[in-house]
Structure 1
Amino acid sequence: MNTATLHKVAQHMAQAERVLFITGAGMSADSGLPTYRGIGGLYNGRLTAHHIPIEVALSGQMLLTSPEVTWQYLYEIEQACRGASYNRGHEIIKEIQEYIPDTWILTQNIDGFHRQVGCEKLIEIHGRLYDLFCTYCDYKVTVENYLHLHIPPKCPKCGHLVRPDVVLFGEMLPSSALSVLTKQLTKGFDMVFSIGTTSVFPYISAPVQMARQQKRITVEINPSTTEVSHLVDYRLVGGATDMLTQLWQQMNDNGL
């Protein structure tokens, strides 16, 4: 089933001038990172060691009241990312950006892999795990890992709490990233891909819904059924790297 679908998607891509890739945890699964709600999920429907949902542990409110709890799970997530790097799927999206220059990426991932591989026109809507800042003064630092951090870390300048530049549950999305996303969505896209995300957040499913309303091509790459599966024109059932590799091969083999 995927072969015929891949060929059709490749044909559409050959004609597209503006493409949006929306990527979630499944995009980095082939780098050895666990997903969070999907297959192989790190917190797939289970409570944390503190007997609270991960959404509570990783919330802005918890960071304020019990920063040691939030930081314990930030450390656990960073530990899962530690030493990992981008995979072939990230490379292919970078190559597609070179083939279709007006290709944008909206990622929920905080691992920084799209940036690491050299992708441009990148909206990291949830921030980056390794960019830290003080909650009180202007101290900022980018670290390679959390190995040498005291948990929870304190600012070397003022002694207040340091946190990663990521969006925790219950917090507002960064206005700068939202502004860029809104501007690009207003321009519209010829194709929108949803890759490796359950699309439970409205701002992640909205671009797919908008493209559908505008009668633009929508594609989902995911091994599981998600919140947007019933909306898309084409579903490629499988892992991100495998499906992107096959799609890119289709385009190259057929001279599209």
Structure 2
Amino acid sequence: MDIEKVKQAAELIRKAKYAVAFTGAGISVPSGIPPFRGENGLWNTTDPIFLEIEFFQKKPLQSWLKIKEIFYDKLGDALPNEAHKILAQMQQRSYLESIITQNIDHLHQKAGSKHVYEIHGTYTQLICTACSTEYDMSFADLNYLPPTCFVCKGILKPDIVFFNEPIPAFAKKRSFEEAAKADVFLIIGTNAEVLPAADIPVKAKEHGATIIEINIEETHFTREITDIFLQGDAAQIMTELGKQLYL
């Protein structure tokens, strides 16, 4: 870890008028949640077809069985790590305005963060595929799959963005608005290969933001838009960043 670069990043955050964080799977790896892609990625052992909306619509039981295994049997016990906690503390101290996340794990909220825009949805909500009634996940007994709607008996779907589904309009709109307002923009634990998420940091750069990137390895952001690259584990670097900000 390059401490001088961390100090430089902390000073930029301290002076920022409107800092925004953009997070991906890498921030939750220290919490025991595997990423989808990469060396230990979920797609190495699980066929992504189970998260295609067309497959879910045709075979909801098969899809739900896999969804329960890879998400609901694991995420409920996952706890925020230091990276999530430091971001929450940064918000409390007014160093950070908002968080845009590609994660569905709800760990930013568990850590105490507000103004979190979940562009790929959240596993904590379910939505009826027939009448669009929304439920908290605690409503459903996942021992009986697929769960069904109390109102119309339609099949419930996790309120996460499946492959070939659009991202939520409100989250998309607010994410791009936040990126455009940012004068400091933190990229943490993501290379954002999927559109439109990949365009959000670019929007921040186009509007003059200084880009601070925290990732295990260099990404296309590092080469194209990043101003300060902090290489390493998100929890470790965010812990040091928190120290420099006296959190």
**Does the residue aligned with 2:223 lie in a helix, a strand or coil?**
coil
**Does the residue aligned with 1:228 lie in a helix, a strand or coil?**
helix
Q: Retained in 2: the 8 A contact 1:90–1:117?
A: yes
* Equivalent of residue 194 in structure 2, options 181, 186, 201: 201
Taking only the aligned residue pairs, the percentage that are identical comes to: 28
Cα offset, 1:199, TM superposition: 1.0
Q: Deviations over 1:71-107 (max 9, x none)?
A: 2331122223131121221111011112226511000
Q: Retained in 2: the 8 A contact 1:22–1:204?
A: no
1:14 to 2:7 alignment: no
Residue matched to 1:82: 76
The one-letter code sitting in structure 1 at the alignment partner of 2:79 is S
1:99 to 2:93 alignment: yes
Cα offset, 1:138, TM superposition: 5.0
Residue matched to 1:222: 215
Q: Deviations over 1:84-135 (max 9, x none)?
A: 1212211110111122265110001111111222211210111110211211
Query: Cα gap change, 1:137/1:216 in structure 2, threshold over 3 Å: closer, same or farther?
Result: closer
Residue matched to 2:177: 183
RMSD after superposition: 2.2
Q: Deviations over 1:205-255 (max 9, x none)?
A: 3232233334421011111232312121111111111110111112229xx
Q: Deviations over 1:125-165 (max 9, x none)?
A: 11110211211135432124976342222224432211111
1:2 to 2:2 alignment: yes
Cα offset, 1:57, TM superposition: 2.1
The one-letter code sitting in structure 2 at the alignment partner of 1:229 is T
CA distance in structure 2 between the aligned counterparts of 1:209 and 1:216, rounded to whole angstroms: 9
Residue matched to 2:57: 64
Residue matched to 2:153: 159
The one-letter code sitting in structure 1 at the alignment partner of 2:149 is C
TM-score computed with the length of structure 2 as normaliser: 0.90
The one-letter code sitting in structure 2 at the alignment partner of 1:5 is K
Q: Retained in 2: the 8 A contact 1:205–1:228?
A: no
1:31 to 2:24 alignment: no
Residue matched to 2:106: 112
**Does the residue aligned with 1:202 lie in a helix, a strand or coil?**
coil
Cα offset, 1:203, TM superposition: 2.8
Residue matched to 2:42: 42
Count of residues paired in the alignment:
245
Residue matched to 1:233: 227
> 102-111 vs 132-141, which deviates more?
132-141
CA distance in structure 1 between the aligned counterparts of 2:138 and 2:191, rounded to whole angstroms: 28
Name stretches of at least 5 consecutive residues in structure 2 with no aligned partner.
Answer: none
**Does the residue aligned with 1:106 lie in a helix, a strand or coil?**
strand
The one-letter code sitting in structure 1 at the alignment partner of 2:59 is S
The one-letter code sitting in structure 2 at the alignment partner of 1:193 is L
Query: Cα gap change, 1:210/1:137 in structure 2, threshold over 3 Å: closer, same or farther?
Result: closer
Q: Retained in 1: the 8 A contact 2:16–2:95?
A: no
Q: Deviating runs (4+, > 3 A) in structure 1?
A: 144-149
Cα offset, 1:184, TM superposition: 2.4
* Equivalent of residue 250 in structure 1, options 237, 244, 247: 244
Residue matched to 2:128: 134
**Does the residue aligned with 2:197 lie in a helix, a strand or coil?**
helix
CA distance in structure 1 between the aligned counterparts of 2:124 and 2:146, rounded to whole angstroms: 15
